[in-house]
C-alpha cells in the first residue's frame, strides 16, 4: 500500500509530463462514470495514512449508490457502522455505541466525497477538475472544491476502463485516506429498501434534522 501511495504522489508531481492523449483519456473515463452510471455497488478497503505515509487505520465493507442522493456504506467488524442516505436524510449508525445520528442530507454532505459520488450531475459544476493522466491501468482525475470550506483539500478518483476503482482523499493536515474498490457492479437494480433505515429498539437517537 505504501509503495502505491508513494507512486501516486510522484504521479501528481509529474503529471504535466504525460502525453496529452493519456490525459484526455482519464477525463473521458471521468465523464463516462458520472454521466452514464446511475447505480453502483462495490466492496471497499479503506486505509488512512499520516503525512509520512504511515498507515494509521484500516477498515472494509460494502457500498451502494443510487443517483441522485442515495447511498449506503456498511463497515465490517470491528468498526461496525452504517452510513445511509435516502435522498433527504442521512443516518450514521454506530453499532458498538448503540447510537444513531440523523441529519438533513444537504447539511451533512457539503463537499464531501459522498456528495460527489452520489450527485445527479457532473462534478465539474462545483469542482475544478484536473487530469493527472495514467498510472499503469488507472487513469487519475483530481477534484478541488470551488468552496473555501471544503471537507478535503483534494479528492482523487482512479478509473480503469471507465469504472471507478480507487478514491484518494487529502486533507489539510497531510493525512491521506485511500479507498480501493473491488467486485464493482454498475447500473444494476438496487431497491429503495437498501436506503431506508429503521432505528433499532434501544438505540440512542441524536436528531439533528430539525
Is the per-residue pLDDT at 139 higher than 80? yes
Q: Which of 46, 66, 63, 33 is closest to 161 using CA atoms?
A: 33
- Round to whole Å and give the CA distance between 100 and 92: 5
CATH architecture of the domain with residue range 2-11+21-207: Clam (2.50)
- Residue 60 bridge partners (DSSP): 45
Are residues 13 and 133 in contact, defined by beta-carbon separation less than 8 angstroms? Answer: no
Lowest-pLDDT range of 11-25, 43-57, 58-72: 11-25
Closest among 156, 112, 107 to 135, alpha carbons compared: 156
Residue 56 C-alpha from the chain's centroid = 19
Q: Are 85 and 105 in contact (CB under 8 A)?
A: yes
Query: Which one has a higher pLDDT value, 143 or 3?
Result: 143
- Copy the grid coordinates of residue 114: 459522498
- Exposed (0-12), middle (13-18) or buried (19+): which is 157, by Cβ within 10 Å? buried
The answer to whether 39 and 188 are in contact (CB under 8 A) is yes
Mean pLDDT of the chain: 84
Question: What confidence tier does 7 reach under pLDDT thresholds 50, 70, 90?
Answer: very low
User: What confidence tens digit (pLDDT) does each residue in 51-104 have?
Assistant: 888 999 999 999 999 999 999 999 999 889 999 999 899 999 999 999 999 998
Query: Is the per-residue pLDDT at 129 higher than 70?
Result: yes
Q: Report in angstroms the alpha-carbon separations of 51 from 6, 91, 140, 167, 170.
A: 11, 30, 21, 17, 10
- Where do the structural domains in the chain lie, given as residue ranges? 2-11+21-207
Residues 171/1/73/42 CA torsion (nearest 10 deg): 130
pLDDT band at 113 (very low <50, low <70, confident <90, very high): confident
pLDDT at 5 over 70: no
Amino acid at each position: 500500500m505504501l509503495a502505491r501511495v508513494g507512486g501516486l504522489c510522484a504521479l501528481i508531481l509529474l503529471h504535466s509530463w504525460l502525453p496529452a492523449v493519456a490525459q484526455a483519456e482519464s477525463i473521458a473515463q471521468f465523464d463516462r462514470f458520472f454521466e452514464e452510471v446511475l447505480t453502483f455497488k462495490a466492496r471497499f478497503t479503506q486505509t488512512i495514512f499520516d503525512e509520512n505515509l504511515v498507515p494509521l487505520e484500516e477498515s472494509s465493507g460494502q457500498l451502494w449508490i443510487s443517483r441522485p442522493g442515495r447511498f449506503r456504506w456498511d463497515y465490517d467488524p470491528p468498526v461496525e457502522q452504517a452510513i445511509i442516505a435516502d435522498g433527504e436524510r442521512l443516518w450514521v449508525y454506530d453499532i458498538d455505541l448503540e447510537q444513531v445520528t440523523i441529519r438533513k442530507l444537504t447539511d451533512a454532505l457539503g463537499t464531501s466525497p459522498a456528495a460527489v459520488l452520489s450527485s445527479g450531475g457532473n462534478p465539474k459544476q462545483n469542482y475544478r477538475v484536473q487530469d493527472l493522466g495514467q498510472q499503469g491501468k488507472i487513469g487519475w482525475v483530481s477534484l478541488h472544491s470551488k468552496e473555501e470550506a471544503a471537507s478535503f483539500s483534494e479528492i482523487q478518483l482512479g478509473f480503469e476502463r471507465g469504472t471507478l476503482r480507487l478514491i484518494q482523499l487529502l486533507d489539510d493536515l497531510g493525512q491521506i485516506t485511500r479507498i480501493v474498490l473491488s467486485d464493482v457492479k454498475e447500473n444494476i437494480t438496487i431497491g429503495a429498501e437498501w436506503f431506508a433505515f429503521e432505528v433499532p429498539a434501544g438505540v440512542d437517537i441524536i436528531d439533528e434534522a430539525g
